[in-house]
A = this chain, B = another copy of it.
Amino acid sequence: MAKHAPPETRRAQILDAAMACFAERGYHETSIDEIAARAGLSKGAIYHHFAGKRDILIGLFEVWSAQLIRRWETISRESDPLEALLLDAEATFASVEDLLPLSRGAVELLSHAARDDQMRGRVADLYTASRNHISALLSDAQRRGLIGEIEPDSVATALMAMFEGLFVMKAMDPEGVDIAAVWKSGVSAVLAGLVATRKKGVTS
Protein backbone atom coordinates (compact mmCIF):
# COMPACT_ATOMS: atom_id res chain seq x y z
CA MET A 1 0.00 0.00 0.00
CA ALA A 2 1.24 3.49 -0.84
CA LYS A 3 1.76 5.09 2.55
CA HIS A 4 1.78 8.61 1.21
CA ALA A 5 -1.27 8.62 -1.01
CA PRO A 6 -2.96 12.06 -1.16
CA PRO A 7 -5.81 12.50 1.36
CA GLU A 8 -8.44 12.50 -1.39
CA THR A 9 -7.18 9.17 -2.77
CA ARG A 10 -7.16 7.71 0.73
CA ARG A 11 -10.69 8.94 1.44
CA ALA A 12 -11.96 7.46 -1.83
CA GLN A 13 -10.27 4.16 -0.99
CA ILE A 14 -11.97 4.07 2.43
CA LEU A 15 -15.35 5.01 0.96
CA ASP A 16 -15.06 2.22 -1.66
CA ALA A 17 -14.19 -0.30 1.05
CA ALA A 18 -17.04 0.90 3.27
CA MET A 19 -19.52 0.71 0.38
CA ALA A 20 -18.46 -2.89 -0.31
CA CYS A 21 -18.82 -3.83 3.38
CA PHE A 22 -22.21 -2.09 3.75
CA ALA A 23 -23.45 -3.82 0.59
CA GLU A 24 -22.44 -7.23 1.94
CA ARG A 25 -23.42 -6.97 5.59
CA GLY A 26 -25.56 -3.86 5.95
CA TYR A 27 -24.64 -0.53 7.51
CA HIS A 28 -25.41 -1.47 11.10
CA GLU A 29 -23.60 -4.80 11.04
CA THR A 30 -20.38 -3.35 9.62
CA SER A 31 -17.58 -2.35 12.01
CA ILE A 32 -14.73 0.11 11.45
CA ASP A 33 -12.38 -2.90 11.83
CA GLU A 34 -13.99 -4.56 8.82
CA ILE A 35 -13.76 -1.39 6.74
CA ALA A 36 -10.09 -1.03 7.67
CA ALA A 37 -9.36 -4.65 6.73
CA ARG A 38 -11.15 -4.29 3.40
CA ALA A 39 -9.28 -1.04 2.60
CA GLY A 40 -5.94 -2.60 3.61
CA LEU A 41 -5.41 0.19 6.14
CA SER A 42 -5.08 0.46 9.91
CA LYS A 43 -8.06 1.43 12.06
CA GLY A 44 -6.06 4.56 12.98
CA ALA A 45 -5.82 5.52 9.30
CA ILE A 46 -9.62 5.31 9.01
CA TYR A 47 -10.05 7.58 12.04
CA HIS A 48 -7.50 9.99 10.58
CA HIS A 49 -9.88 10.61 7.65
CA PHE A 50 -13.32 10.05 9.20
CA ALA A 51 -14.76 10.68 12.67
CA GLY A 52 -16.55 7.33 12.51
CA LYS A 53 -19.01 5.17 10.61
CA ARG A 54 -21.68 7.91 10.53
CA ASP A 55 -19.14 10.28 8.98
CA ILE A 56 -18.31 7.65 6.33
CA LEU A 57 -22.02 7.38 5.50
CA ILE A 58 -22.18 11.18 5.09
CA GLY A 59 -19.10 10.94 2.85
CA LEU A 60 -20.85 8.39 0.61
CA PHE A 61 -23.89 10.68 0.48
CA GLU A 62 -21.73 13.60 -0.61
CA VAL A 63 -19.89 11.65 -3.31
CA TRP A 64 -23.21 10.35 -4.62
CA SER A 65 -24.76 13.88 -4.60
CA ALA A 66 -21.81 15.39 -6.44
CA GLN A 67 -21.87 12.65 -9.11
CA LEU A 68 -25.60 13.05 -9.57
CA ILE A 69 -25.35 16.83 -10.07
CA ARG A 70 -22.40 16.45 -12.50
CA ARG A 71 -24.36 13.89 -14.52
CA TRP A 72 -27.37 16.22 -14.67
CA GLU A 73 -25.23 19.11 -15.90
CA THR A 74 -23.79 16.96 -18.69
CA ILE A 75 -27.24 15.75 -19.72
CA SER A 76 -28.68 19.30 -19.80
CA ARG A 77 -26.00 20.47 -22.21
CA GLU A 78 -26.77 17.67 -24.65
CA SER A 79 -30.58 17.34 -24.74
CA ASP A 80 -33.81 19.31 -25.05
CA PRO A 81 -35.46 19.89 -21.66
CA LEU A 82 -38.05 17.09 -21.75
CA GLU A 83 -35.47 14.59 -22.99
CA ALA A 84 -33.14 15.83 -20.25
CA LEU A 85 -35.84 15.22 -17.62
CA LEU A 86 -36.28 11.65 -18.81
CA LEU A 87 -32.51 11.06 -18.97
CA ASP A 88 -32.09 12.61 -15.51
CA ALA A 89 -34.72 10.22 -14.21
CA GLU A 90 -32.89 7.29 -15.79
CA ALA A 91 -29.55 8.43 -14.39
CA THR A 92 -31.07 8.90 -10.95
CA PHE A 93 -32.75 5.53 -11.14
CA ALA A 94 -29.45 3.89 -12.10
CA SER A 95 -27.81 5.55 -9.08
CA VAL A 96 -30.56 4.12 -6.84
CA GLU A 97 -29.63 0.62 -7.98
CA ASP A 98 -26.08 1.38 -6.82
CA LEU A 99 -27.40 2.67 -3.51
CA LEU A 100 -29.87 -0.10 -2.71
CA PRO A 101 -27.45 -1.98 -0.46
CA LEU A 102 -27.31 1.27 1.51
CA SER A 103 -31.04 1.95 1.63
CA ARG A 104 -31.49 1.07 5.28
CA GLY A 105 -28.36 3.05 6.07
CA ALA A 106 -29.79 5.97 4.11
CA VAL A 107 -33.00 5.91 6.14
CA GLU A 108 -30.75 5.93 9.19
CA LEU A 109 -28.93 8.95 7.73
CA LEU A 110 -32.27 10.73 7.27
CA SER A 111 -33.18 9.90 10.85
CA HIS A 112 -29.89 11.32 12.18
CA ALA A 113 -30.37 14.33 9.94
CA ALA A 114 -33.84 14.97 11.36
CA ARG A 115 -32.16 15.68 14.70
CA ASP A 116 -28.86 17.17 13.55
CA ASP A 117 -29.04 20.64 12.00
CA GLN A 118 -25.71 20.32 10.19
CA MET A 119 -26.66 17.05 8.53
CA ARG A 120 -30.16 18.26 7.79
CA GLY A 121 -28.59 21.27 6.10
CA ARG A 122 -26.61 19.01 3.75
CA VAL A 123 -29.68 17.04 2.76
CA ALA A 124 -31.68 20.29 2.32
CA ASP A 125 -28.88 21.71 0.13
CA LEU A 126 -29.09 18.70 -2.19
CA TYR A 127 -32.87 19.11 -2.33
CA THR A 128 -32.43 22.79 -3.27
CA ALA A 129 -29.83 22.02 -5.96
CA SER A 130 -32.05 19.27 -7.41
CA ARG A 131 -35.17 21.45 -7.35
CA ASN A 132 -33.39 24.36 -9.03
CA HIS A 133 -32.04 22.08 -11.75
CA ILE A 134 -35.35 20.31 -12.51
CA SER A 135 -37.34 23.53 -12.19
CA ALA A 136 -35.05 25.24 -14.75
CA LEU A 137 -35.62 22.36 -17.20
CA LEU A 138 -39.40 22.65 -16.74
CA SER A 139 -39.33 26.45 -17.22
CA ASP A 140 -37.23 25.98 -20.36
CA ALA A 141 -39.74 23.39 -21.66
CA GLN A 142 -42.56 25.88 -21.00
CA ARG A 143 -40.77 28.64 -22.90
CA ARG A 144 -40.37 26.29 -25.87
CA GLY A 145 -44.08 25.42 -25.77
CA LEU A 146 -43.41 21.75 -24.93
CA ILE A 147 -45.53 21.81 -21.77
CA GLY A 148 -48.31 24.10 -20.56
CA GLU A 149 -49.17 25.99 -17.39
CA ILE A 150 -47.61 24.17 -14.48
CA GLU A 151 -45.75 25.50 -11.47
CA PRO A 152 -42.14 24.39 -12.11
CA ASP A 153 -41.00 24.36 -8.45
CA SER A 154 -43.96 22.28 -7.30
CA VAL A 155 -43.71 19.72 -10.09
CA ALA A 156 -39.94 19.48 -9.53
CA THR A 157 -40.51 18.79 -5.83
CA ALA A 158 -43.18 16.20 -6.71
CA LEU A 159 -40.71 14.36 -8.97
CA MET A 160 -38.05 14.45 -6.25
CA ALA A 161 -40.56 13.22 -3.67
CA MET A 162 -41.37 10.24 -5.89
CA PHE A 163 -37.69 9.34 -5.94
CA GLU A 164 -37.13 9.89 -2.21
CA GLY A 165 -40.29 7.97 -1.34
CA LEU A 166 -39.41 5.01 -3.56
CA PHE A 167 -36.07 4.75 -1.86
CA VAL A 168 -37.63 4.76 1.62
CA MET A 169 -40.34 2.28 0.58
CA LYS A 170 -37.73 -0.07 -0.88
CA ALA A 171 -35.91 -0.05 2.46
CA MET A 172 -39.12 -0.88 4.33
CA ASP A 173 -40.56 -3.40 1.89
CA PRO A 174 -37.84 -4.82 -0.40
CA GLU A 175 -40.12 -7.50 -1.93
CA GLY A 176 -43.12 -5.22 -2.48
CA VAL A 177 -41.40 -2.44 -4.44
CA ASP A 178 -40.09 -2.97 -7.98
CA ILE A 179 -38.19 0.29 -8.39
CA ALA A 180 -37.54 -0.13 -12.13
CA ALA A 181 -41.21 -0.69 -12.97
CA VAL A 182 -42.51 2.02 -10.64
CA TRP A 183 -40.05 4.70 -11.53
CA LYS A 184 -40.68 4.30 -15.24
CA SER A 185 -44.48 4.23 -14.83
CA GLY A 186 -44.47 7.17 -12.45
CA VAL A 187 -42.14 9.35 -14.49
CA SER A 188 -43.84 8.53 -17.79
CA ALA A 189 -47.25 9.27 -16.23
CA VAL A 190 -46.05 12.64 -14.93
CA LEU A 191 -44.36 13.55 -18.21
CA ALA A 192 -47.47 12.48 -20.17
CA GLY A 193 -49.49 14.69 -17.81
CA LEU A 194 -47.18 17.66 -18.38
CA VAL A 195 -47.39 17.27 -22.14
CA ALA A 196 -51.17 16.88 -21.81
CA THR A 197 -51.37 20.31 -20.12
CA ARG A 198 -50.01 21.82 -23.34
CA LYS A 199 -52.38 19.84 -25.58
CA LYS A 200 -55.32 20.86 -23.42
CA GLY A 201 -54.25 24.49 -23.74
CA VAL A 202 -54.06 24.16 -27.53
CA THR A 203 -57.35 22.37 -28.14
CA SER A 204 -59.67 24.05 -25.61
Q: Which A positions have Cβ atoms within 8 angstroms of B?
A: 28, 103-104, 107-108, 110-111, 113-115, 120, 123-124, 127-128, 131, 150-151, 153-155, 157-169, 171-173, 176-178, 181-186, 188-197, 199-200
Contacts and interface: CB of A to CB of B under 8 A. Distances in A.
A111 B111 contact: yes
Determine chain A's interface SS by DSSP, over half rule: helix
Contacts of A173: 120, 123-124, 127-128
Contacts of A195: 196
Nearest to A108: B111
A152 to B, nearest CB: 9
Contact of A120 (B151, B172, B177, B188): B172
Contact of A115 (B104, B120, B159): B104
Contacts of A194: 189, 192-193
| Residue among A151, A188, A192 with max Cβ neighbours from chain B (10 Å) | A192
Contacts of A177: 127, 157
A192 B127 CA distance: 26
